[in-house]
A and B are shown apart, each in its own frame.
Chain A
Amino acid sequence: MKKTSKLSACLSGFLKFAALHQKLFILGALTLAILFPFLITDRYVMRLAVVGFMYVMLSLGLNLVTGYMGQMSFGHAAFWGIGAYTAALLTKNLGLGTLPAFLAAAIVVGIFGFLLGLPVLKLKGYYLTIVTMGFCEIVRLVELNWMPVTNGPMGISGIPKFSFFGISFHTYRSFYFIILILVILTTLLIRRLIRSRFGLALKSIRDDDVVAEAMGVPIVRYKILAFVISSMIAGVAGAFYAQYITYIDPTSFTYNASQEMLVMVIFGGLGSIPGSFLGALALTILPELLRDLMEYRMLIYGVLMVVMMLVKPDGILGNVNFDYLKEQAAARKKEAVK
């Protein structure tokens, strides 16, 4: 008991410190992220970093729906997959560049997200969870059976690598910077969104939809909008994945992948941007360190989900409001000076 209280005191102390020096922390992390590929030349580590950042992007998108809106989506692996297939087909068959492929993936996935969200998000309760699970399975079956387009279980190979305005990129360093830019853009977008009127409205829907509606929040419209934005982020991540890995097949985009993303969001912290970073990076790196336990990975994820719910249902960094901590610390300082 004593040990845990010491641990939590240590954690809260660290969080307070981080809150006070927020800018310093962000600047430090950013510098480290930019310098990283120049410090480390090991290909394996670089590959891990690229995949880890891609999961950060997916988690950030999913967090908008799960953390801020309070609905679980199992469709994000399907959105990810649709984005990947869209980008793969367009770049391979039509010779499109990377930017138009990203745009096309976002639009196509956004349309799917809209059509899926329209009937389901009108309803209260957890229909979204079940319907997105079904959606994920349907998309997988279509990818598997629609031979002329998706090439079925053989998948699509030989997808061209990234090319911007005719210049193509082949080094790991360039892949790293592309995903880093995508992650930064996503972070800025989510941060902007959740601090806007829209974000506050979204949180109010999560906490009490009746009150939100009474305050004049257009609940259904906002929920659908959040779902579409979230799915579009997953779509762009999929487009990145297709051009990075150059080979895709239906086995990557299954229900299990959705569950992995959810565990990342839940573990890191529901409704927390640093939480998404923590969850995605930790759960990308840890399985690599524990290679011997690979067989037990999903089992451990399952246990992690249950234990997390029993011990800390918000995740490690969930419910940590850095701005509030900062204000509190500043107020205390003022008092001390007096």
Chain B
Amino acid sequence: MFFQQLVNGITIGSTYALVAIGYSLVFGVLQLINFANGSLYMLGGYLTLVMYLSLHGNIGAALLISLVVTGFAGFLVDFVGLRKLRADNAPRMAGLISTLGISTVIDNAIQIWFGTETKAFPNFLDFGKFTIGKTVISWTQIIILTVSLLLMIVFSLIVYKTKAGKSMRAVAQNVNAARLMGIDVKLVISATFIVSAILACISGSLVGSYYQTIDTMMGFSVGMKTFAAAVLGGVGSLPGAMLGGLIVGVVETIGASYISSGYRDAIAFLILILVLLIKPSGILGKQKIEKM
């Protein structure tokens, strides 16, 4: 029972980690919470479903189109909602409200388009299951875990080892200095948004396939949970976001099975409040969070 929940928790946690990376990247570069990230996660899931149905089950092409469109949506979040605010030197709350507005627009557009009821999602990762002791592990879980880990490793390498990642970190440290060094700040910021949107899209599609259902509210709750995960791990730190995602997934799954499944979504928020109370900088956060 416990190991079964642990496996389930790690699986769902690894998908949270992908979305949490997106929060962390954007927060690192702009010191802004991108509320639209959760909506992009939902959008990605829906687009994959629509493309899958309209392409008669060609999952590769469906995923590719969904990735491109969601990535473009991520670019638009910044281009429409935030670029002008940065140019105007608007207060930071304006950016927050703007991303919230975009998130509302995406959520409700999908709701009007598809209706609010839960949709069936095809499991394109279904390759059977096997048992170890009493624990049932499906190949879907293995694939989700592998894909997530691979993506995490790839993004860590990009951010910490390549020139593109270096310029991203430079912008995160000091925008003006980065600009003086000849880094195209606009390009870096756009790239950050696109990357976080693509990660959210992959995560949304994987979760859709794992639960075999998809609904319009999943963006909101996952958005909040993954932000909690990013804070738990330490905002702005990539390994922190991954660790935070895994912890939130595991604690939530185990809590739901041992306490009450009705309070499943509340657990992540309780973790968030506790972290802010005890260690606001998070587990792996180097960046010290300023206290008043």
Residues of chain A whose beta carbon lies under 8 Å from any beta carbon of chain B: 70-72, 119-127, 129-131, 133-135, 137-138, 141-142, 144-145, 209, 213, 219-220, 223, 255, 259, 262, 266, 295-296, 298-299, 301-306, 308-310, 313
Contacts and interface: CB of A to CB of B under 8 A. Distances in A.
Contacts of B98: 305-306, 309-310
A89 B18 CA distance: 44
The CB with the most chain B CB atoms within 10 A, among A130, A142, A145, is that of A130
A137 B289 contact: no
Interface string B93-110: 111111011111101110
B72 interface: no
Interface stretch (B9-17, B134-142, B194-202, B270-278): B270-278
Contacts, number: 135
Given A126-B92, A299-B112, A306-B81, A137 B221 contact: yes
Contacts of B50: none
A145 B263 contact: yes
Interface in B243-292: 260, 262-263, 265-266, 268-270, 272-273, 276-277, 280, 289-292
Contacts of B289: 123-125
Given A70-B93, A124-B291, A124-B292, A309 B224 contact: no
A141 B270 CA distance: 13
B112 A123 contact: no
A308 B95 CA distance: 11
B264 to A, nearest CB: 9
A123 B269 contact: no
Given A119-B276, A120-B273, A310-B85, 14 more contacts: A72-B93, A72-B97, A119-B277, A129-B96, A130-B227, A134-B272, A134-B273, A141-B266, A298-B108, A301-B101, A302-B105, A303-B105, A304-B101, A309-B94
Contact of B90 (A121, A303, A313): A313
Q: Is the interface of A mostly helix, strand, loop or mixed?
A: helix
Of B33, B85, B107, B108, most buried by chain A (CB within 10 Å of CB) is B108
Contacts of B224: 130, 133-134, 137
Contact of A306 (B102, B108, B266): B102
Nearest to A74: B100
B124 interface: no
B228 interface: yes
A126 B31 CA distance: 10
Contacts of A219: 292
A219 B290 CA distance: 13
A138 B263 CA distance: 8
Contacts of A129: 33, 96
A141 B262 contact: yes
Nearest to B92: A126
A296 B112 contact: yes
A220 B109 CA distance: 40
A127 B105 CA distance: 23
Given A137-B265, A144-B262, A266-B97, A299 B104 contact: yes
B260 A145 contact: yes
B262 A313 contact: no
A145 B260 CA distance: 10
A135 B265 CA distance: 11
